[in-house]
């Protein structure tokens, strides 16, 4: 939980991911950052007198006895032209956990406090280095599952979403000013905004908000990834198909029914689209409590999935249990996969019952790889549903921002309904003010501590 009262402390943290690596970074931010760096750093260059801003200096970090801990590159960035907007030092040392821990501990020994989650970015926001939409984009960049998601986050990190919200708010404020003129000077011969013009202007603004909201759904799979679930009878080849799509043996494959009793999940990258592929327990009646629990979990996954692959054994007719699962899923969310095309007993007409239900069917052999390219392509296309590659400059709000936009749109819809009903302009102005305040929640001009904490607590320590 972030506490603004602690914002004057000098903070320090490891800024690189946990684990061993070639290089690790310790970040120190706050009024005493340079003072601490001077105590920790012993330069190699005898001509060194002090840290030059935005330069890398080579030397050693020393402990309290003066012994060398590690040879490092150290940079000082004075505020306000730093990431946090305040004095910032970054120490590039070897990336071993012991090394990073020792260097961080020395910084703490000299007066720094261990940073909380997201506190560096929180300070950047509080010091005006970025708005709230940009701060959220930092986290989205870190967690981007694909290159496309990275680009969508980068657009927001550049400030384009914040600029768009500022533009919408400015136009609403202009409307408020026009309504104020009509209220304050009712008897003057001034050209005031008519109710019809007000409604048209507000509808145009709502159209732009609607465009932003459409981008949320259109880009969701790119930003968050998607869930595809393999469902079918025992021994239909679900685990074999999962292994074939992944290109490695992840699921155990045997002739023994019920080998998969829980579910397995792995990430599959289909031409830049990140898909979580889940292999569920085979559909069948069972008295085994563990397997029954796995079947229940599988049904829950199917309900949550973006796409359900209904896998059928092409050497046997489809039974009622698979038909029930297919009906529950529906052809809009389901894709029928007829497996075992390599067998002599394979019969393509075994998929007819699902075809009659409106399901698209792809024929494959998990064993030989036949049809896997076609299946991979159809999985990708079905999940994207024609959305295609996102535009490089597309503004794609996240779920929180979409909720704020929806609330603002609801207020503007109410405003137009009131305007059409002849409600006085001074009351309509209250609606406009509320919509402006709601939109400010995206960029953070008006944001509660609960909202800020929920955002920055999702960051890692060191960012």
Contacts with 259 (C-beta within 8 Å, 6 or more apart), sequence order? 239, 252, 253
pLDDT computed for residue 408 by the predictor: 96
More confident residue, 319 or 459: 319
Mean pLDDT over each residue of the chain, to the nearest integer? 87
- With tokens 């085994």, the residue in question is 288
CATH of the domain at 274: 3.40.50.300
CATH of the domain at 191: 1.20.120.430
Q: pLDDT band at 2, cuts 50/70/90? A: low
Within a domain: residue 349?
A: yes
pLDDT computed for residue 256 by the predictor: 46
Do residues 212 and 229 both lie within one domain?
no
Tens of pLDDT, residues 246-277: 886 654 444 444 444 456 889 888 888 899 99
The conformation of residue 291, written as its DSSP 8-state character, comes to: H
Mean pLDDT is lowest, of 33-47, 280-294, 314-328, for 280-294
Query: Coil, helix or strand for 262?
Result: coil
Whole-angstrom distance, CA of residue 222 vs CA of residue 273 = 6
Within a domain: residue 125?
A: yes
**Is the pLDDT confidence value at 54 over 90?**
yes
**Is the pLDDT confidence value at 386 over 80?**
no
> Is residue 230 within 8 Å of residue 309, measured between CB atoms?
yes
Structure tokens, 379: 């999985």
In the sheet that holds 88-94, the strands lie side by side as: 41-43, 56-62, 68-77, 88-94, 23-29, 11-14, 113-114
Structure tokens, 109: 């020994």
Domain final position from 337, 358, 384: 384
pLDDT computed for residue 187 by the predictor: 52
Total residue length of the chain: 463
Q: pLDDT band at 29, cuts 50/70/90? A: very high
**Is the pLDDT confidence value at 292 over 60?**
no
pLDDT computed for residue 251 by the predictor: 46
Whole-angstrom distance, CA of residue 81 vs CA of residue 362 = 56
Number of other CB atoms surrounding residue 181 within 10 Å: 16
Q: pLDDT band at 186, cuts 50/70/90? A: low
Mean pLDDT is lowest, of 22-31, 43-52, 134-143, 383-392, for 383-392
In sequence order, what E strands does 132-290 have? 226-232, 264-270, 273-279
pLDDT computed for residue 262 by the predictor: 52
- With tokens 């829950």, the residue in question is 300
For 172, the domain range is: 142-220+398-443
More confident residue, 226 or 291: 226
pLDDT computed for residue 320 by the predictor: 86
Do residues 182 and 99 both lie within one domain?
no
CATH of the domain at 10: 3.30.1360.120
Whole-angstrom distance, CA of residue 324 vs CA of residue 460 = 44
Q: pLDDT band at 153, cuts 50/70/90? A: very high
pLDDT computed for residue 318 by the predictor: 87
The end-to-end CA distance of the chain, in Å, is 15
Do residues 155 and 122 both lie within one domain?
no
pLDDT computed for residue 3 by the predictor: 57
Do residues 198 and 297 both lie within one domain?
no
Do residues 149 and 273 both lie within one domain?
no
Mean pLDDT of 199-210: 95
**Is the pLDDT confidence value at 189 over 80?**
no
Burial class (CB in 10 A: 0-12, 13-18, 19+), 407: middle
Do residues 311 and 357 both lie within one domain?
yes
pLDDT computed for residue 260 by the predictor: 45
Do residues 316 and 413 both lie within one domain?
no
Give the DSSP letter string of 209-251: HHHHHHHHHHHHHHHH-EEEEEEEBTTSSHHHHHHHHHTS--S
pLDDT computed for residue 190 by the predictor: 46
Mean pLDDT of 445-463: 79
Within a domain: residue 136?
A: no
Do residues 317 and 233 both lie within one domain?
yes
Structure tokens, 164: 């768009």
What's the structural domain count of the chain?
Answer: 3
Burial class (CB in 10 A: 0-12, 13-18, 19+), 17: exposed
Q: What is the pTM of this model?
A: 0.81
Contacts with 4 (C-beta within 8 Å, 6 or more apart), sequence order? 126, 449
pLDDT computed for residue 254 by the predictor: 44
Within a domain: residue 453?
A: no
Within a domain: residue 456?
A: no
pLDDT computed for residue 58 by the predictor: 97
Do residues 98 and 23 both lie within one domain?
yes
> Is residue 422 within 8 Å of residue 195, measured between CB atoms?
yes
Within a domain: residue 452?
A: no
More confident residue, 17 or 132: 132
> Is residue 106 within 8 Å of residue 40, measured between CB atoms?
yes
Tens of pLDDT, residues 100-124: 999 999 999 999 999 999 999 999 9
pLDDT computed for residue 290 by the predictor: 55
Express as a percent the part of the chain with pLDDT over 90: 58
């Amino acid at each position: 939980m972030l506490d603004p009262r602690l914002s004057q402390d000098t903070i320090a943290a490891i800024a690189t991911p946990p684990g061993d690596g070639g290089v690790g970074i310790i970040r120190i931010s706050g009024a005493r950052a340079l003072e601490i760096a001077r105590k920790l750093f012993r330069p190699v260059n005898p001509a060194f007198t002090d840290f030059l801003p935005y330069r890398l200096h080579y030397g050693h970090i020393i402990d309290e006895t003066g012994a060398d801990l590690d040879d490092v590159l150290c940079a000082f960035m004075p505020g306000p032209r730093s990431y946090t907007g305040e004095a910032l030092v970054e120490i590039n040392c070897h990336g071993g956990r012991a090394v990073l821990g020792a260097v961080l501990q020395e910084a703490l020994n000299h007066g720094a406090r261990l940073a909380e989650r997201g506190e560096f970015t929180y300070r950047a926001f509080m010091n005006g280095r970025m708005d709230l939409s940009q701060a959220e984009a930092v986290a989205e960049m870190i967690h981007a599952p694909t290159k496309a998601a990275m680009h969508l986050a980068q657009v927001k990190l550049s400030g384009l979403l914040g600029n768009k919200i500022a533009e919408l708010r400015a136009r609403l404020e202009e409307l408020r000013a026009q309504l104020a003129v009509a209220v304050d000077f009712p008897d003057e011969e001034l050209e005031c905004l008519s109710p019809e013009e007000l409604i048209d202007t507000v509808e145009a603004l709502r159209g732009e908000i609607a465009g932003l909201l459409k981008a949320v759904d259109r880009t969701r799979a790119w930003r968050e990834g998607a869930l595809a679930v393999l469902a079918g009878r025992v021994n239909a080849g679900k685990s074999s198909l999962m292994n074939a799509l992944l290109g490695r043996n992840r699921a155990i494959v045997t002739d023994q029914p019920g080998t998969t009793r829980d579910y397995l999940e792995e990430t599959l990258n289909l031409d830049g689209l990140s898909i979580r592929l889940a292999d569920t327990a085979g559909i069948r009646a069972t008295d085994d409590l563990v397997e029954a629990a796995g079947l229940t979990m599988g049904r829950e996954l199917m309900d949550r999935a973006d796409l359900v692959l209904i896998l059928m054994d092409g050497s046997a007719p489809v039974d009622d249990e698979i038909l029930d699962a297919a009906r529950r899923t529906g052809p809009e969310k389901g894709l029928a996969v007829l497996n075992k095309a390599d067998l002599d007993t394979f019969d393509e007409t075994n998929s007819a019952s699902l075809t009659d239900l409106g399901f698209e069917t792809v024929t494959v052999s998990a064993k030989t790889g036949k049809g896997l390219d076609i299946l991979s392509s159809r999985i990708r296309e079905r999940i994207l549903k024609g959305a295609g590659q996102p535009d490089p400059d597309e503004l794609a709000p996240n779920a929180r921002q979409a909720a704020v936009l929806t609330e603002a749109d609801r207020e503007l819809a109410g405003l137009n309904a009131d305007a059409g009903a002849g409600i006085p302009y001074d009351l309509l102005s209250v609606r406009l003010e509320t919509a402006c305040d709601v939109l400010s929640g995206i960029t953070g001009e008006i944001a509660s501590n609960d909202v800020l904490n929920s955002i920055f607590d999702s960051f890692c320590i060191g960012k």
